[in-house]
Amino acid sequence: MTSLIIGSFNTKDNAINRNGGIRNDGTDNAKILSQKIKEKDFDILGTQELTIKYTTRLEQLLPNYKFCGDYRYSNALVNMPYNENNQIMTKQKILNTKTIWLPFIAHNPKDLKTSISKASIMPRIATIAITENENGQKLCTINTHLDYQVPSIQIRQLKALSKIIKTYSAQYPIILTGDFNMELKEDHFKEFVQSMEKENIKRVEINENTWCPKEGNGKTEDHIFIPKNWIVEDCGVIQDEEMIELSDHKAIYVKAKAK
């Protein structure tokens, strides 16, 4: 297999940049992002928080890419607030794709109250895409965006992801991308990373802050996982003024290939 360039990027809201300014319903943002995608020449890019106008404009600007990923409240309600998708963009042939809900409702009153008060009580989703390259090699990419507030919900979502991965890993090499809203130092995420190692999937070590708020300290919350036996040739964050303007997250990438 030739080298693949894989990325993950939380685009934030389609119309709001990190400084709170409105950018023409996301179409200005889409112009910048599409140019960066072309420059980096991504083979697979997982995105989070894309809405309909942003997605539609990207599809127009990136005719060489295929898009897959349903909206969290269905494609019939694309204009509903927070009806975002976890889009997977790829230059590979798409064989199959689906979007599924992850657990998102707390089981106890305290966590439920926290989830409601912090506006995090909404379906969290994972987009799954089976793709094939020009040599007939198949991959399974899973792209997600997990809860940011309640550890008990995060743990359930990680368990759900583990089950999905086990289902597909018997047939395909697995790529996992997303905004996990968790750092490696958090015990439940560390346990997940260790469990993925047992499934022959490794986290790419991009040890830079990927979420950078206007005030306070940043965190490394966006992650990419690839097959354990793949060689990492390059990895990091895309840092330039235009990309920083788009979101409070940084786009991350890895260039890797199978041994």
The model's pLDDT over 175-195, given as tens digits with 9 standing for 90+, comes to: 999 999 999 999 999 999 999
Q: Which CATH superfamily is domain 4-258 in?
A: Endonuclease/exonuclease/phosphatase (3.60.10.10)
pLDDT tens for residues 90-149?
Answer: 999 999 999 999 998 888 888 787 787 766 778 899 999 999 999 899 999 999 999 988
The CA-based diameter of the chain, rounded to the nearest angstrom, is: 52
For the question of whether the overall pTM of this predicted structure is more than 0.75, the answer is yes
CA distance 54 to 208: 27
Decide if 75 contacts 97 (C-beta within 8 A): no
Which residues fall within 8 angstroms of residue 97, CB to CB, at 6 or more apart? 68, 69, 88, 127, 128, 129, 130
Structure tokens at 13: 């809201």
Domain ranges of the chain: 4-258
CA distance 212 to 21: 17
Structure tokens at 22: 């409105």
Structure tokens at 103: 């657990």
Helix (H, G, I), strand (E, B) or coil at 64: coil
pLDDT tens for residues 13-27?
Answer: 644 555 555 444 557
